[in-house]
Amino acid sequence: MTNNVSSRLRPAVVRPGARVAVVSPSSPIDRAELDRGLDGLRALGFEPVWDEDTLAKDGYVAGPASSRAAAFLRAWEDPTVSALVASRGGYGSAQILPWLDPARLRATPKLFIGYSDTTAILTWLTVHCGLTALHGPMIERRIAALDAGVHVESLRAALAGGAAGRLMAPASVEVLQLGEAEGLLLGGTVALLCASLGTPYAFMPPAGSVLFLEDVQERPFRLDRMLTQLRLAGVFDRASAVVFGDMPGCDDAGGLTAREVAACVLRDFRGPVLWGFPSGHTTGPLWTLPLGVRVRVVTGATPGVIVDEEAVV
């Protein structure tokens, strides 16, 4: 199944009024923040679904891994649920991967929405299971804050099937390297992608992929270490383009910036490189990127990402 692009499945569109399940595959969420997020989902026009497992707490994770996996699968296989959204990141998503059988997930394809620690799930779904997913807002601090935390237009387009043909060109995007390329958009938080290497769930994208890479609070030398690890593992050799996120908190005061580190590590990369796409960890509203779909990266007068395929049907 791994990297089997020809058999990629896309779930149905998520229409207004659809039931969206809130799941907690990583760290526990505060009840007050969950309530704000449920109100945010209602304001977006969806019916939120959740159970007590969403609020489970076992130290720094939201309950035992087997329980988190069971809750995820219950929501995934519920025929009345159209999509799943993570309550928050933190830590723990990789622990549930052994329970997420690709055949079982492909039998009832759904959209999963998340970022940060849930990169482990996004990678499993898109690279190994042949599904699409959304690198988009979670409940905590995003949907709970709604307009202040979410770029609503890109989220709605990704859910409802209005993304194809759109140029996504936030004003913050800069060009590190000129060019134009296309491929499947895959990726997520750099630390999680690196942590997957050497496991059965490794991030090893198909040749010609467009990589989206983002992180937060990683000092330049740590970012250099992780990007170098991806380079030595051959991940960049399989990429046609690279799009970086905002990388907030990744600069050293008076020293190297994350942008300079990225430019240095990718100095021999043959393809376009963009910097500053505000998806994932970002200080402003989070833009939703569809993963597992074909996109084009352009670096002309208006640099950005053109979505050639929908994540939904």
Q: Average model confidence (pLDDT) for the chain?
A: 96
Query: Over the stretch 71-103, which tens digit does the pLDDT of each residue have?
Result: 999 999 999 999 999 999 999 999 999 999 999
Q: What pairs with residue 167 in β-bridges?
A: 306
* Amino acid (1-letter code) at residue 37: G
Catalytic residue among 26, 87, 116, 279: 116
Please enumerate in sequence order all residues whose Cβ is within 8 A of that of 132, keeping only pairs 6 or more positions apart, or say none.
8, 9, 10, 11, 111, 125, 126, 290, 291, 292, 293, 311, 312
pLDDT digits 0-9 by tens, 105-152: 999 999 999 999 999 999 999 999 999 999 999 999 999 999 999 999
Alpha carbons within 13 angstroms on the beta-carbon side of residue 85 total 30
Domain 5-160 matches domain 167-307 at the CATH topology level: no
Q: What is the pLDDT of residue 7?
A: 80
Distances (CA, A) of 18 to 12, 46, 95, 209, 240: 11, 5, 29, 32, 36
State both tokens at 288. Answer: 């939703």
| Residue 214 annotated in active site | yes
Domain residue ranges in the chain: 5-160, 167-307
The catalytically annotated residue of 218, 279, 281, 310 is 281
Taking only the tens place, the pLDDT of each residue in 145-184 is 999 999 999 999 999 998 889 999 999 999 999 999 999 9
Reply yes or no on whether 24 is catalytic: no
Architecture field, domain 5-160: 3-Layer(aba) Sandwich (3.40)
Q: How far apart are CA 312 and CA 13, in angstroms?
A: 5
- Taking each continuous run of H as one helix and of E as one strand, the counts in the chain are 8, 14
Whether pLDDT at 259 is above 80: yes
- Residue labelled with tokens 């159970």: 51
Catalytic residue among 214, 218, 309, 310: 214
- pLDDT surpasses 60 at 36: yes
Q: Which CATH entry fits the domain spanning 167-307: 2.30.30.790, 3.50.30.60, 1.10.540.10, 3.50.50.60?
A: 3.50.30.60
310 a catalytic residue: no
List Cα–Cα distances, 266 to 104, 203, 299, in angstroms. 38, 18, 16
- Contact of 26 with 62, CB cutoff 8 Å: yes
pLDDT digits (tens, 9 = 90+) for 210-254: 999 999 999 999 999 999 999 999 999 999 999 999 999 999 988
Separation between Cα atoms, residue 263 and residue 93, nearest integer Å: 30
Strands (E), 115-264: 133-135, 167-168, 174-177, 180-189, 209-214, 239-244
d(CA 194, CA 231) in angstroms, rounded, equals: 10
pTM over 0.95: yes
